[in-house]
Amino acid sequence: MRNIDHFIGGSAVSAGGRHGEVFDPSKGEVQARVGLGSAADLGKAMDAARAAQPAWAATNPQRRARVMFNFKALVEQNMEELALILSSEHGKVIADAKGDIQRGLEVIEFSCGIPHALKGECTQGAGPGIDVYSMRQPLGIVAGITPFNFPAMIPMWMFGVAIACGNAFILKPSERDPSVPVRLAELMKEAGLPDGILQVVHGDKEMVDAILDDDDIRAISFVGSSDIAQYIYSRGTANGKRVQAFGGAKNHGIVMPDADLDMVVNDLTGAAFGSAGERCMALPVVVPVGEKTANDLREKLLPAIAALRIGVSTDPDAHYGPVVNAAHRQRIENYIQMGVDEGAELVVDGRGFSLQGHEKGFFIGPTLFDHVKPAMQTYQEEIFGPVLQIVRADGFEEAVRLPSEHQYGNGVAIFTRNGHAAREFAARVNVGMVGINVPIPVPVAYHTFGGWKRSGFGDINQHGMEGVRFWTKTKTITQRWPDGSATGENAFIIPTMG
């Protein structure tokens, strides 16, 4: 049985004691064991980080950027290997795995421009002979706690900017699919990153609490469920840390009567069922406006859903693969039964799906509900699976109100040909990220990612300039240089570089 170790101080370090199981979701079999670390394991990583971070912070931004350039090239060279590892532990198909890696690389590309992003502000002559300027400095040692659904993208979203800013970074990835984060750390070392600057520690709540309580960890970024996000934000900030904690989602797709339904159906099948729905920016709720829109949309959705191909992660023709493990499949099936019990119409039932030759795999077919009501628990909560719910709206105002009043506020999309309706919706809806005829409105890397309400805890979002602000502290200097005439000193000595 393969063991997955910590990556501490530039080397593999065994985590003795407790272990977790890492499955191959397509086969339904255990393929590896991952060590579940303790505070003592974190202590080893902290010792290495403390030894390495000051010199890395003192390294000029251009040299730090060169490491990012090298890392980007290495990830691209090893894309096939990384995608296979990712798919084998997560279950998403190879195309989705490559997309996972590529979206992470886009933040690495942004991080290559860190010399420009770190420039401060300057005011000459703020007072008589007085200049004021600011500089951005790294926080020191920081950490990221990442989920199973994007084991490449989200770690790179975090550590790319943090490390480029001069911090040492400790990554605690999901114990469900931990191999890709370790491989990324190895590639960072190969790219020229000093040992101790990027380290990977595995574990469960014990490791998370150790990170939250360590006095020398100055900031924490988290992505996961909302309940855990709130816990991490509360405990981390209580310990004096800067925390950004992103939680669950229930993204809505508003379909106006003038929308191109063929385009909507194509977008919905990918956004709702792609990656088996295990995406915080999935589109699991569609809100057609008006009965005719709803009926026409449903009629077009049925053949599109029937045409979806579910297969093993390496099947190039599969639209999506298995979910991550048996427990998560059971959770999704429980929600489907809950929807039936609540009175929603189960139009397509994905339970009981079995793939020939892979009967033990964690597969679940696409599921469609209609006539879902806002009071239903299945609407209020995140299912995180290949389940699409139709919630019918009478008019535009109701379509704005539904996502605005929901407990989650991660993303929303509107499909329309009407520019005024789209503009009005984008301005009024109480959600952090909006797509206009874009089903998964994840911003590009040089903008910023973050949801509202129970989808995000903290004041600063991920990546882009918001990420630079999160991983740095601003120092402002007010200076005056007397001319030296009173003492006869030469006021015009030109400093030279030593």
**Residues tagged active-site:** 280
φ and ψ of 243, to 5 deg: -135, 135
State the Cα angle at 412 between 410 and 415, rounded to 5°: 170
Dihedral over alpha carbons 353, 355, 358, 364 (to 10 degrees): -30
What is the C-alpha separation between 15 and 480, in angstroms, rounded? 55
**Among 53, 57, 406, CA closest to 226:** 406
What is the C-alpha separation between 282 and 94, in angstroms, rounded? 18
Look up tokens 């959705």; give the residue: 301
What is the C-alpha separation between 295 and 362, in angstroms, rounded? 32
Q: Are 206 and 190 in contact (CB under 8 A)?
A: no
| SS3 annotation, 134-147 | EEEEECCEEEEECC
What is the C-alpha separation between 216 and 481, in angstroms, rounded? 36
What is the C-alpha separation between 9 and 249, in angstroms, rounded? 36
Among positive and negative, which fits the CA dihedral 72, 74, 77, 80? Answer: negative
What is the C-alpha separation between 348 and 268, in angstroms, rounded? 15
Q: What is the DSSP letter of 289?
A: B
Q: Are 68 and 160 in contact (CB under 8 A)?
A: yes
State the Cα angle at 388 between 274 and 363, rounded to 5°: 55
What is the C-alpha separation between 21 and 169, in angstroms, rounded? 25
What is the C-alpha separation between 201 and 37, in angstroms, rounded? 7
Provide the b/e sequence for 17-45 (b: ≥16 CB within 10 Å).
eebbebbbbbbbeeebbbbbbbeebbebb
Strand duo 285-288 + 252-255: pairing = parallel
